[in-house]
A and B are shown apart, each in its own frame.
Chain A
Amino acid sequence: MAELLFWPALLLYGEAAVGYLGDARRPGAAGRAATWGVRLGWLAQTALLGVQVARDDGFPWGTWAGSLNLFVWLVVSAYLIWGCRRSYRLLGLAVMPLASVLLLVARAGGGTGVGGASRYSSLFLVLHVGLVLAAFAGFTLAAALSGLFLWQERRLKRRAVTILRRPVPALATLDALALRTVAWSLPALTVGLAVGLVRLVVDGDQVDALVLATLVTWLVWASYLWLRWVVGWTGRRAAYIALAGFALVIVVRLALPATHFA
């Protein structure tokens, strides 16, 4: 059953990635097809996660690959909030290829199958893994919004004659959305981290490199909010911080199998 749901999800995400590429070259039908690919692929992946939850002994994201599967779902879910709007299609070009590749990696690591058993309690997984992954998904989207901001800002600075040809959200909108996304994601990361640290203390385990890297990530995103709300930074400088924060998110995700799940 999981197999039957994985392939449609992957194919539809792949179709969306190709569709958004086509839409970037010539806006229109390819973009609409891509949006439907995201919607249907998301439904297929939601069903896949549902089957995993129903048939596994505990939540399926107790492994790094399982958590990657959930992470992809969260990123696509967050993208879907805006992604159906025409002016946000270009954002799909950043999100959907990444989602397709990560879903494939999750499968290679065994994160899309069923029948696994987790050594963690469901409540801990929801609070720690669920919240941290939700925050990372939010940061990924904020970074994509910031990337789009920098691309569009650069076009405005270069006075590109095609500046009005392609529907892209306004600079102010991209800036505000990135801020709002981070403002929702950071509390999730804070709670998720706190739960993990409490467990660490209770179990008498030691702080590993991943925990430190995650704390640095938290610090960067907290600085982002402080610089924006208190110092008044906007635009390019804020976008660069968001990209730096996202780079740390990638490091943490890549380090996951080598540390936490080693």
Chain B
Amino acid sequence: MRLVLVGTSHHRAPVELRERVALEREEAQALAARLAEGDREAVCLSTCNRTELYLAAEDGERAEQDAVAVLAELEPEVEPALYRLRDQAAALHLFRVAAGLDSLVPGEGEILGQVRVAHELGTTGPLLDRVFRQALHTGRKVRAQTAIGESPASVSSAAAALAEQVFGDLAGRSILLVGAGKVSEQAARNLLSRGARVSFVANRTLDRAEELASRLGAVALPLDRIEDELAHADVVVASTSAAGFVLDAPAVARTLGGRRSRRLLLIDLAVPRDLDPAIHDLDGCYLYDIDDLQAIVAETLSGRRQEAERAESLVASEADKFHEWHAALDVVPAIASLRARAEEIREAELRKAEGLLGRLDESQRRAVESIPAQIVNKLLHLPTVRMKEAAAAADGVLYAEAVRHLFGLGEEER
């Protein structure tokens, strides 16, 4: 059984090409089912950054042609941007994908879930089931044993991570959004996903504030009422198009008395800035602007790249394990036949000796019967191990043929 991969990703295809071969879940499921004719197996992994078809088939050449044809059917121009990998290289690629090493942002965590869903929706058998399970295991292992996925990769996730650095668990923490644009909303959603709640949305235009507040379950405010509600907020996210400061240091200082030393994190995503930089000097106040956050993201990304080197070695070792398992498949039938033949001989010899064995009591009989079984096991142990080793070194088929020939395996059927 050969493992075949045909696909394209952000490395080879621009977004305008990728979007034409991107598939919804149901489409990916149907495509996998369509490719899995006969005893073939197929999985379609389709995300915004990649569309990949994994097939397991006896005829690897034909499976690859079919996969290329299917993708070309979706978009003829994709063919030059396709990569085609086989066996260990295909497995290594999938393991790297699951570990987030092939992602646009190294170590991003979403891909692991996407690989899991693709596996669930695919038409899998022994080979693809094994390779996808091992890929998911590899992805989890890389995340557990390296810090590749720990640091944020975007400004809004950096803001949320900073909030966690200050408050720990964000459950129940109150956010005051200043500005009702997309940037504010994105940052707010990142904080919401970690358990915080948006309490207020303040905006120059109250209509827009009300619109966003209704979506986030918050209360809308005009800009001039920020100071009134500041005492209740833990995090302030500001992103308006105002020309000057929306909130200055004296205003924040006036609210500190009512906060009973509660910390306040202020995130200023606006250019020009909305929040007075002097706020950062106040006790218990931490103000980060867009430059600060971008510098943090740049640093964490360089950290991710360092961790990626460690992750690569983990992935390579998992790919080696898969290779050993896959190669052993070539010799497994020969090993099974050899053991079956040995078992037949053992049983036949025991039947011949039935007359003698009949005179023994039950425990003596069991002891005598176990002797040939032990001999068979000891005799076949080393050849079994050697055949598996040879399989991993690509000589497996030759060894299997030699064993079949020497022991006359399968000859009685001919």
Chain A residues engaging chain B, CB cutoff 8 angstroms: 27-28, 152, 156-157, 159, 161-165, 167-173, 232-236
How far apart are the CA atoms of A167 and B283 in the complex, in Å?
24
Q: Does B325 contact A (CB under 8 A)?
A: no
B263 touches A164 (CB 8 A): no
B262: A residues at CB distance < 8 A: 234
A164 touches B161 (CB 8 A): yes
Interface residue from B169, B283, B288, B292 paired with A235 (Cβ < 8 Å): B283
A170 touches B167 (CB 8 A): yes
Known: A161-B295, A163-B296, A164-B300. A233 touches B261 (CB 8 A): yes
Q: Which residue in chain A gives the minimum CB-CB distance to B288? A: A159
Contact bitstring B224-264, A, C-beta under 8 A = 1, else 0? 00000000000000000000000000000000000011110
How far apart are the CA atoms of A162 and B292 in the complex, in Å?
11
Known: A164-B151, A232-B261, A235-B283. A172 touches B300 (CB 8 A): no
Shortest Cβ gap from B259 to chain A (Å): 9
Q: Does B166 contact A (CB under 8 A)?
A: yes
A169: B residues at CB distance < 8 A: 168
Q: Does B181 contact A (CB under 8 A)?
A: no
B164: A residues at CB distance < 8 A: 170
* Between-chain CB contacts (< 8 Å), 5 pairs: A152-B165, A164-B152, A170-B167, A171-B263, A235-B283
Contact bitstring B19-62, A, C-beta under 8 A = 1, else 0? 00000000000000000000000000000000000000000000
Interface residues in B255-307 by Cβ distance below 8 A to A read: 260-263, 280, 283-284, 286, 288, 292, 295-296, 298-300, 303
Most B C-beta atoms less than 10 A away, residue of A27, A152, A164, A232: A164
Q: Which residue in chain A gives the minimum CB-CB distance to B165? A: A170
B261 touches A235 (CB 8 A): yes
How far apart are the CA atoms of A172 and B172 in the complex, in Å?
14
Q: Which residue in chain A gives the minimum CB-CB distance to B157? A: A164
Q: Which residue in chain A gives the minimum CB-CB distance to B262? A: A234
B286 touches A156 (CB 8 A): yes
Shortest Cβ gap from A163 to chain B (Å): 6
Interface residue from B165, B166, B283 paired with A236 (Cβ < 8 Å): B283
B288 touches A164 (CB 8 A): no
Known: A159-B292, A233-B261. A165 touches B167 (CB 8 A): no
Interface residue from B263, B286, B310 paired with A172 (Cβ < 8 Å): B263
Chain B residues engaging chain A, CB cutoff 8 angstroms: 147, 150-152, 158, 161-162, 164-169, 260-263, 280, 283-284, 286, 288, 292, 295-296, 298-300, 303, 310
Shortest Cβ gap from B33 to chain A (Å): 43
A157 touches B151 (CB 8 A): no
How far apart are the CA atoms of A163 and B163 in the complex, in Å?
12
Shortest Cβ gap from A254 to chain B (Å): 33
How far apart are the CA atoms of A233 and B284 in the complex, in Å?
11
How far apart are the CA atoms of A236 and B310 in the complex, in Å?
38
A170 touches B280 (CB 8 A): no
Shortest Cβ gap from B24 to chain A (Å): 35
Interface residue from B166, B169, B261, B303 paired with A165 (Cβ < 8 Å): B303
Shortest Cβ gap from B299 to chain A (Å): 4
Known: A156-B286, A164-B158, A167-B150. A235 touches B263 (CB 8 A): yes
Q: Which residue in chain A gives the minimum CB-CB distance to B260? A: A232
Shortest Cβ gap from A190 to chain B (Å): 26
A163 touches B261 (CB 8 A): no
A164: B residues at CB distance < 8 A: 151-152, 158, 161-162, 165, 296, 300
A165: B residues at CB distance < 8 A: 151, 299-300, 303
How far apart are the CA atoms of A157 and B165 in the complex, in Å?
12
A172: B residues at CB distance < 8 A: 166-168, 263
A28: B residues at CB distance < 8 A: 147, 310
Q: A28-B147, A171-B165, A172-B167 given. 7 additional CB < 8 A pairs?
A: A156-B166, A161-B296, A163-B165, A164-B161, A170-B168, A171-B167, A172-B263
A170: B residues at CB distance < 8 A: 164-169
A159: B residues at CB distance < 8 A: 288, 292, 295
A234 touches B168 (CB 8 A): no
B300: A residues at CB distance < 8 A: 164-165
Shortest Cβ gap from A35 to chain B (Å): 15
How far apart are the CA atoms of A226 and B261 in the complex, in Å?
15
B280 touches A157 (CB 8 A): yes
Q: Which residue in chain B gives the minimum CB-CB distance to A168? A: B165
How far apart are the CA atoms of A168 and B261 in the complex, in Å?
22
Shortest Cβ gap from A242 to chain B (Å): 15
How far apart are the CA atoms of A28 and B168 in the complex, in Å?
22
Shortest Cβ gap from A31 to chain B (Å): 11
B162: A residues at CB distance < 8 A: 156, 163-164
Closest 4 CB pairs of A and B: A170-B168, A234-B261, A161-B299, A232-B260
How far apart are the CA atoms of A232 and B164 in the complex, in Å?
22
B168 touches A173 (CB 8 A): yes
Q: Which residue in chain B gives the minimum CB-CB distance to A238? A: B261
B150: A residues at CB distance < 8 A: 167
Q: Which residue in chain B gives the minimum CB-CB distance to A232? A: B260
How far apart are the CA atoms of A234 and B162 in the complex, in Å?
19
How far apart are the CA atoms of A168 and B164 in the complex, in Å?
11
Shortest Cβ gap from A258 to chain B (Å): 40
Q: Which residue in chain B gives the minimum CB-CB distance to A27? A: B147
Shortest Cβ gap from A149 to chain B (Å): 11
Shortest Cβ gap from A51 to chain B (Å): 38
Shortest Cβ gap from B142 to chain A (Å): 13
B286: A residues at CB distance < 8 A: 156-157
Known: A170-B164, A171-B165. A162 touches B299 (CB 8 A): yes
Shortest Cβ gap from A61 to chain B (Å): 37
Q: Which residue in chain B gives the minimum CB-CB distance to A152? A: B165
A161: B residues at CB distance < 8 A: 295-296, 298-299
How far apart are the CA atoms of A170 and B166 in the complex, in Å?
5
Shortest Cβ gap from A148 to chain B (Å): 13
A233: B residues at CB distance < 8 A: 261
A152: B residues at CB distance < 8 A: 165
B303 touches A156 (CB 8 A): no
